[in-house]
Structures are given as C-alpha cells and as structure tokens.
A and B are shown apart, each in its own frame.
Chain A
Amino acid sequence: MRIWPIYKKELRLYFTSPVAYIVLTMFLLIGGYFFYSIFAFFTRASMQIAMNPAGARDLNVTDGVLRPLFQNLSVILLLLMPLVTMRLFAEERRSGTIELLLTYPVRDGAVLLGKYLAALTLYALMIAFTLAYPAILVYFARVEGGPLLTGYLGLLLMGAMFLAVGVFASSLTENQIVAAIVTFGILLMFWVIGWTSEFAGQPLGAILAHLSLLEHNENFSKGVIDTRDVIYYLNFTALGLFFTLRSLEARRWSG
C-alpha cells in the first residue's frame, strides 16, 4: 500500500494553501474565547462559594471547566471540520487530477487512507494546540488527569468520525462548498437526533439516543470510557470510509 506519498502530498497541500492556517486560527481563537469565559465564570462561582461554603462539594475543575470546554470545542468542530475535508476528493474531481491519481499504481483504499490520515493529522494538531488551556488551568487549580485524558480521547474519536463523514461527502461531488454543506448537514442531523429521544416512544427513543453524537461524547468528558461509545465512533468512521471507497468505485464506472 503506497499510502505514504499520498499522505505527504496532502499534508503539504494543507499547509501550502491558507485553509489549514485559517481553520487552525479560527479554532484556537474561538476555543480560547470559550475557555476564557468558562474559566472566568468558574472563578466567580468559586469566589461566591468561598463566602458560602455550603455548595463547595459540587464545585470542581472537571465539572466546572473541562466538561463545558469539551462541549464547546465539539460545537466549534462541528462547524469547522467540514472545511478540513471538503477539498480532499471534490477538488481532484473538479480539476480532473483524479484521472491521473486513480491510474497510478496505488489502490483506491491507499489513496483514501493517505488523504484521510493527512486530515486526521491536521486535526490532531488542532486539538494538540488546545492543550494550552488545561496547561493554564493546572497553574491555578488541581486538574484531574483522568477526565482530561478521556476528554481528549473523546475529542479525537469524534473528530475522526467527523473527518470520515467529510471525506465521504467530498467524494460525492466536484464542488467543495457542496461537500462542506453535506458534511455539516449529516453531522448536524446526528447531533440533534438525540434531542427528540425523550419525547419519542421507548424503543425508538433508545435508538435515537444511541445514534446521537452528543450522547456518546458525554461519558468521555465525565472521565468514563464506555466501549459502546468507542465502538460508536469507530463504527461510524469505518462506515464513512467504506462508503467513500464505494463512491470512488461507482464514479469510475460512470467515467
């Protein structure tokens, strides 16, 4: 499998075009703003509690800062990740370079993995930068290592899934904007699908809750690794990549 050259090329393209820098900057700016507001809110709350120690038991950094931070970061990702993947196949199709790429001696799967892993690398870089927030936090308060670690694991798994959906959408069209919108649409649907689970009847409600993106991220930010959550994200990712492969194959037949 000649994944490596494709991976290198894609990663280089990310950083020779402005996309990676813009996404990274936006992500860190907005993430930083959220971190600042959450942290400020938490500080004020702890000051009030210092005067009225009755509520002190409920207040800790994990619940007060990290959990809301991870939740907010996921929302930013929902908006930004479609931009990371939209180019991958749509642009190759628009410019026709796919005709050369798919006639080189590499399997479609290797092309796909090379591209996907490049996107995943960019994403890993994005969330690596956010480690600055807990680093600042450690300076002021005691941070529990466990929930921090699982929180990041959850973020990584969720991002991997977002990227798989994105790369699939990108393989469907020649238009990057369309790819981004489709990705966003699919993700948003799975995001909100859990909201109705409470009103839906019981078997359906449970299914909807299980499909929901949000539900599965809850546990991670609480410091709990549930295999069901891990499997959910991995399954979703694998399915996305599998559909992409089929879509590439179908496109070959139609020329």
Chain B
Amino acid sequence: MIEVQNLTKRYGPVTAIRDVSFSVAPGQIVGFLGPNGAGKSTTMRILACFMPATSGSARVAGYDVFRESMEVRRRIGYLPENVPLYTDMRVAPYLEFVAEVKGVPRGQRKARVAEVMERCLIGDVQNRLIGKLSKGYRQRVGLAQAIVSDPHVLVLDEPTIGLDPRQIAEIRTLIRSLAGEHTVILSTHILPEVSMVCSGVVIINKGAIVAQGPIDRLVEEFFPTARLEVEIAGPRPAVHDAMRAIPGVVAVAERDGAGAPGRYVVESARGRDVRGEIFQLAAQQKWMLLELRQVGMTLEEVFMRIVAGEETAADGAAGVDVPEAAEADA
C-alpha cells in the first residue's frame, strides 16, 4: 500500500533523509520511529504529496506521489505534526469544508461529518471556534479531518502528542479500529504505544532506515537471547559457574558488586526456558533462591540499542549537514 524506494530529500545543504526504502502492507498499522530530527516528518510530508523528494520514488495505493499526486491525495488522510487548523472556523463547518474539498458527495457530507465527530469524540464542541479549543481537542479535530473522507491510507505525524492519558487511550482505540480497512503509518515518540497499536515498525535515524519489520521479529533480531534476572544467596563464583554450566545458557553476568546476596542476569538461547534448572540447582546446593524473573525485551530497548549503536558507529555517515563535496568522497 505504501512503497518507498531510495527516497532522498535535501533542504539546501541539509540532507534530511537519504536513500530511505520501506513498505507497508495493506491493512497494517506501522509505527515510524526515530529520534528528533531523524526525518520522520520529512518522509511523511513527501508521502502526503506536500513536497516532492529530491530523488527516489514513493507509491501510495499504487500511485506515484509525484506523478500521480491527485490520485494519491484522493486516497490519503494526513495529520501534520503541529496540527494546523483554521482557528477562525467552527468545528462542524470546518469538517464540512474538508469533506467537500476531499470530494465527499454532497448527500453524504453531513452524515459523514457527524460520524467522524462521534468517532473522534468532538460532538460536544462542534459549534466552538477551533482556535478556542484545548490542544487535545484540536488534535482530535485534526484526526477527524484526516479520516473524514474515509481514505485508504492514513499518514499521522505524532497523533497522540499533547493528549491526556485517557484521551491517548481513546485515540489509540480509534486508530486500532482503523486497521484492516485502512493502512496507517504513524510517527510517535511513545514506544509502548507502538507495541500496543502497531503491527510493525520502521525505525529511522539520521535520515536513514536502520530497522524495519514486525516488532517481535525485531526484538528477536536485536536480542537473540532470553533473559532471566536471578537473585541467589550463595558463594558467588560457584553460583556463577554452576549456572553457566546449565545447557542452553549462553552468558551469566553479575549485576552488582561484592556482598551477598548476588544478583545475576542469565542469558539463554531464545525458546529455551532454564528456570526449572536454576531452581533445582539452588535446591540441590541448598542456596537460597530469592528471585527468579523473566525480563521481556521491549521495543524501547531495541530502539535505544539501535540509536545508540548508530551513534558510536560511523559518525555522520548518514547525518545532516553533509556538504556536497564530502558526500562525493564517501
């Protein structure tokens, strides 16, 4: 549904994104992640046909965003980062305007607007001036204008920013309910949100894609081992070595310095559960087992590892502010 190939965008001397390629399958919700300035908004603006790329191509719903921009625009709903709305307009007339511009037939317009107002929970402010709404309500009006024409594809740039926790939950439910019929790409800095809402992620750093795919697969890829946090009161070197000797355990690290009881992180091959063995080991040796806990690796840790790893590796290779000359050398 969304196919991006070798997309590059330069703002004068600043290369915002470089050779970005990814794709989103129909009906999927994909999270677009990356630190500040990574190029998320730039990519989304290109997808939404707001600006053309310097090179490369992007297709949305089978149409090229540059050459068949009108076709793409008919099938897309876009929520820009800072939610720009006409502050002098009232909510319902504004949505009717958007519906008309987006080509919702006259007969269905009123019903459609009423429906999205209900879905986005803004029915109670429909006669208020948009400029007088709170940030959260403006955000919802922004989302309402994106979905008012029932587009196939939604491009949402930080849709839950500035919302209170209950609203965030409501908006997430709304976005989740869009899956299947709609293809959604959303950017966010709230990583737990991605695990809750999205089926896959695309991670971008310094203008280049660094990882993409289903969340579980990425976690496995970056953390091929399962982890246990173990606290055992016993002679440290002996405990360490005994646990290391359990088949399937690939590494044992001591979490803290000297002093009993000792805390360890035990890494084992994924799918290999060594909790029983550790319990039995402790029982046999008469060591006191104080804690035995599985540590789930989250997207957050994947993200941190990727972004931190990128920083230590090739500095500036895919960064911003690369002058043309230096680029040619690289």
Q: Given A252-B52, A253-B51, A103 and B76 touching (CB < 8 A)?
A: yes
B86 to A: closest C-beta gap in Å: 6
B100 close to A (CB within 8 Å): yes
Across the interface, which residues of B come within 8 angstroms of A13, CB to CB?
Answer: 86, 88-89
Is chain A's interface secondary structure helix, strand, loop, or mixed overall? helix
Contact B73 A254 (CB under 8 A): no
A254 to B: closest C-beta gap in Å: 7
Across the interface, which residues of A come within 8 angstroms of B97, CB to CB?
Answer: 5, 8-9
Q: Mark A70-99, 1 if CB is under 8 A from B, else 0.
A: 000000000000000000000000011111
Contact B84 A105 (CB under 8 A): no
Across the interface, which residues of B come within 8 angstroms of A246, CB to CB?
Answer: none
A105 to B: closest C-beta gap in Å: 4
The chain A residue with its CB closest to the CB of B80 is A99
Contact A105 B73 (CB under 8 A): yes
Contact A97 B50 (CB under 8 A): no
A202 close to B (CB within 8 Å): no
Contact B51 A252 (CB under 8 A): yes
Measured CA separation A97–B145 after assembly (Å)? 12
Measured CA separation A254–B12 after assembly (Å)? 8
- Contacting B100 at CB < 8 Å: which of A5, A12, A95, A102? A5
A6 to B: closest C-beta gap in Å: 7
B281 close to A (CB within 8 Å): no
Q: Mark B162-189, 1 if CB is under 8 A from A, else 0.
A: 0000000000000000000000000000
Measured CA separation A5–B101 after assembly (Å)? 6
B78 close to A (CB within 8 Å): yes
Measured CA separation A98–B49 after assembly (Å)? 12
Contact B86 A96 (CB under 8 A): no
B247 close to A (CB within 8 Å): no
Measured CA separation A95–B142 after assembly (Å)? 14
Contact B70 A107 (CB under 8 A): yes
Contact B52 A104 (CB under 8 A): no
Across the interface, which residues of A come within 8 angstroms of B76, CB to CB?
Answer: 103
Q: Mark A120-158, 1 if CB is under 8 A from B, else 0.
A: 000000000000000000000000000000000000000
Q: Mark B36-49, 1 if CB is under 8 A from A, else 0.
A: 00000010010011
Across the interface, which residues of A come within 8 angstroms of B12, CB to CB?
Answer: 254
Contact A95 B87 (CB under 8 A): yes
Q: B27-63: which have CB < 8 Å to A?
A: 42, 45, 48-52
Contact A106 B82 (CB under 8 A): no
B91 to A: closest C-beta gap in Å: 14
Contact A100 B80 (CB under 8 A): yes
Contact B103 A2 (CB under 8 A): yes
Smallest CB-CB A-B distances: 8 pairs: A96-B84, A5-B100, A105-B73, A97-B84, A105-B74, A103-B48, A104-B101, A99-B80
A-B contact pairs, 16 of them (CB 8 A): A5-B101, A8-B97, A13-B86, A97-B84, A99-B45, A100-B85, A103-B49, A103-B76, A104-B98, A104-B101, A105-B102, A105-B103, A252-B51, A255-B42, A255-B50, A255-B51
